[in-house]
Amino acid sequence: MKWKTLSTAVVVTAAAGFLLTGCGNQSKSSSGANSGNLAKTQVLNWSENGQDLSTLDPSLAVDVISGTMINNSQEGLYRLGNNSKVTPGIATATKVSKDKKTYTFTLRKNAKWSNGDKVTAKDFVYGWRRTVNPKTASQYAYLYSGIKNADKITNGKAKASTLGIKADGNYKLTVTLEKPIQYFKLLMGFVVFFPQNQHAVDKYGKDYGTSSSKMVYNGPFKMTGWQGTNSTWTLVKNDQYWDKKSVHLTKIKDQVVKSTTTGFNLFQSGKLDMATLSGQQVKNEKNNKKLVIRKSSRLNYLEFNQKKVKELSNKKLRQAMSLTLNRKQLVNNVLGDGSVTPQGFVTAGLAKDPTTGKDFATENKVASSVDYNPTQAKKLWKEGLAEVGKKKLTLTLTHDDTDQMKALSEYLQGQLEKELPGLTVKSVTVPYKTRIAREVAGNFELVISAWQADFADPISDLGIMTSTNDYNFGKWTNKSYDEAINTANSTTSTKARWAALAKAEKEIGTDQGVAPLSQNVVAQMVNPKLKGLVYNTAGINYNFKEAYMAK
């Protein structure tokens, strides 16, 4: 995510269920929690690093924070456990046809919404149809590609009612695909495929999902205290959740913390159980046992608005700006938080070539797209300016108001103005939600954007940069790239698909569609009493379902 389309490298099968074992009068969950090691008070004080909550509407969520809150207060056919392992959600059994184009799900009969309604197959049908309906304007509707008629519907050429999903009574759900999708089960754990309660959508109308009170919940927790603009809210245990016995936390008190200094101080004073750190703090706390470094599939990158600023359609100007950036210096000295230099647009460690076993990002790296070469940058800049008939250029650089993004923007502004004669860069600092809104509206010139893979496959990164994808905010267009992604999405051959993805990665690198900046890690101070938390590098990071506070 802001979070994003998809792969064949990983095939995941559904687990039989959560394992509950008995030991005397103690019950032990799969997280390792039992009544003997649970703290008396099961309250977790959590924080979000500078990012505001945008929506609770599964059709409209585009950011990590919204996805995390939806994932923990709602539930789809599956939940994703450690290492993106598919575990049971609303589905209790799955039958796949021989040609792998028809999935029949048996749904549990004890799942309820927080308004008392039963969760049924009709809720999935309604939610899916609502998401692909162009009137909803879901930026994630493209993930439905491959499900029967999804592309026709999103392109306005068919009705949402023709989508390949059908309710056979309340507890049988049939999904029909146009072709086998090897990552299909993994998709079913993503929030855009969650069911939706039509009664709630009709009741709240345009306000649906805009605050915690304008939503119903079927997951481990319910949301309270979010009015739509405030920076604090609470997840409370949902007593109507079908597997409530596995949920130990009674409350998760969440707050947005803009400053890592503030977050660290709150952690030190015991007011937070988790605080995200910035570079110098990581160095200061490197020997602290409470410091946790989490790998991430999140990429920070510079995006060029080629529609708003015609000069940015010039390849040489884009290449010149990228070549001024010393990414080793950026991650080691400017950020200093454990972030690593990017290999390209696809993050390292996300997926391996099924034939060679090599990391996709390393195998398909275009060195020139992430190199530091100020001499070549000046040459290309001069040539590019001549080609667009300019002697100088002034550009605005939009970025979030978090510590990390401020550091990135200061470095970029300094390097670009230092190395490229005639370039003036004006910094525009805005809150996270405002940055997202401006990207969606195309209201920027340069922007420091960020993307986190929705699941462990290169297409989750590469799919967002096609010329028609809503997340291609800079409107970069490359015919060969589009053709490669189309091939990857249409072929049934694993070898051909991987070759097409490799071609796409090399195309965006060679054409400098964006300028990769840094691949994130997440550095946190964490209360060692927090146990059972599920963290995944791709998709929705945090699953609090079986987390607990130990004695």
pLDDT, tens digit, 9 for 90 and up, residues 299-348:
999 999 999 999 999 999 999 999 999 999 999 999 988 899 999 999 99
- Inform me whether the pLDDT recorded for 238 exceeds 70: yes
Q: Is 453 helix (H, G, I), strand (E, B) or coil?
A: coil
Looking at domain 21-207, its CATH superfamily turns out to be Dipeptide-binding Protein; Domain 1 (3.90.76.10)
Give the model's confidence band at 1: pLDDT under 50 very low, under 70 low, under 90 confident, else very high: low
- Inform me whether the pLDDT recorded for 517 exceeds 60: yes
- Inform me whether the pLDDT recorded for 11 exceeds 80: no
Region 14-23 average pLDDT: 27
Q: What is the pLDDT of residue 20?
A: 25
63: which 2 tokens? 């950011």
Q: What are the tens digits of pLDDT across the range 521-537? A: 889 999 999 999 999 88
Give the model's confidence band at 211: pLDDT under 50 very low, under 70 low, under 90 confident, else very high: very high
Q: What are the tens digits of pLDDT across the range 403-457? A: 889 999 999 999 999 999 999 999 999 998 899 899 999 999 999 999 988 887 8
Q: What are the tens digits of pLDDT across the range 388-398? A: 999 999 999 99
Q: What are the tens digits of pLDDT across the range 357-400? A: 999 999 999 999 999 999 999 999 999 999 999 999 999 999 99
Find, among 349, 345, 347, 353, the residue nearest to 9 by Cα: 353
Give the DSSP letter of residue 38. Answer: B
Secondary structure string (H, E, C) spanning 288-351: CCCEEEEEEEEEEEEEECCCCCHHHHCHHHHHHHHHCCCHHHHHHHHHCCCCECCCCCCCCCCC
Q: Are 247 and 73 in contact (CB under 8 A)?
A: no
For residue 419, give every residue at least 6 positions away whose Cβ sits within 8 Å of its Cβ, in sequence order, or none.
324, 374, 377, 378
Q: What is the pLDDT of residue 14?
A: 28
Residues 199, 160: Cα–Cα separation, whole Å: 19
Residues 79, 14: Cα–Cα separation, whole Å: 10
* C-alpha dist (Å) from residue 70 to 222, 223, 240, 544: 9, 9, 16, 12
Q: Are 339 and 353 in contact (CB under 8 A)?
A: no
Distance of CA 139 to the CA centre of its chain: 13
Domain ranges of the chain: 21-207, 297-522
Backbone phi, psi, residue 284, to 5°? -65, -35
* C-alpha dist (Å) from residue 276 to 47, 266, 282, 285: 8, 11, 9, 12
- Inform me whether the pLDDT recorded for 23 exceeds 80: no
Q: What are the tens digits of pLDDT across the range 269-294? A: 999 999 999 888 998 999 999 999 99
- R_g over Cα of the chain: 23
Q: What is the pLDDT of residue 74?
A: 98
Q: What is the pLDDT of residue 411?
A: 97
Find, among 125, 504, 525, the residue nearest to 344 by Cα: 504
Residues 174, 40: Cα–Cα separation, whole Å: 44
- Inform me whether the pLDDT recorded for 10 exceeds 50: no
Q: Are 548 and 42 in contact (CB under 8 A)?
A: yes
Question: What percent of the chain stands above pLDDT 90?
Answer: 79
Find, among 301, 297, 282, 221, the residue nearest to 254 by Cα: 221
Taking all residues of the chain, what is their mean pLDDT, rounded to a whole number? 91
389: which 2 tokens? 């008939």
Characterize the bridge pairing of strands 393-400 and 91-96.
unpaired
Q: What is the pLDDT of residue 337?
A: 84
Q: What is the pLDDT of residue 402?
A: 84
- Inform me whether the pLDDT recorded for 3 exceeds 50: no
Residues 425, 427: Cα–Cα separation, whole Å: 6
Q: What CATH class has 297-522?
A: alpha beta
Q: Is 104 helix (H, G, I), strand (E, B) or coil?
A: strand
Provide the whole-model pTM: 0.77
Tokens 């008392």 — which residue?
116
78: which 2 tokens? 């599956």
Q: Are 178 and 101 in contact (CB under 8 A)?
A: yes
